[in-house]
């Protein structure tokens, strides 16, 4: 069972196939289907049932966590 997020890749591949058909082109379409959807399904059921608690992060904790990340430099 793929992860629910992988549906975006499937949709993108379908859209490309439709475009190729409409343009009369024959192209190779490659996409990556991955994930462990069986781990996500209970969380999705809880979300849609309104069982998940909406948490807010403390701004000071967020700033402290972000401060530990490396800064991005231009190449």
* pLDDT tens digits, one per residue of 10-40: 999 999 999 999 999 999 999 888 777 777 7
Residue at 73 is within a domain = no
Tokens describing residue 67: 């401060």
Query: Do the domain assignments include residue 56?
Result: yes
Residue 45 lies in a domain: yes
Which of 35-39, 46-50, 53-57, 71-75 shows the lowest mean pLDDT across its residues? 35-39
Count of structural domains, the chain:
1
Q: Please tell me the distance from the alpha carbon of residue 1 to that of residue 69, in angstroms, as a whole number.
A: 33
The answer to whether position 75 is within a domain reads no
Which structural domain, as residue segments, surrounds residue 61? Answer: 4-67
Look at residue 72 and tell me if it is in a domain: no
pTM of the model: 0.50
- Please name the residues in contact with 26: beta carbons below 8 A apart, sequence gap of 6 or more: 20
Give yes or no for a contact between 34 and 2, defined as CB atoms under 8 angstroms apart. Answer: yes
Q: Is the pLDDT of residue 55 over 90?
A: no
């Amino acid at each position: 069972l793929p992860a629910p997020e992988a549906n975006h890749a499937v949709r993108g591949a379908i859209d490309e196939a439709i475009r190729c058909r409409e343009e009369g082109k024959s192209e190779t379409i490659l996409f990556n289907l991955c994930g462990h959807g069986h781990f996500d399904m209970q969380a999705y059921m809880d979300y849609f049932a309104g069982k998940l608690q909406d948490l807010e992060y403390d701004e000071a904790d967020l700033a402290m966590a972000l401060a530990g990340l490396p800064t991005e430099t231009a190449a």
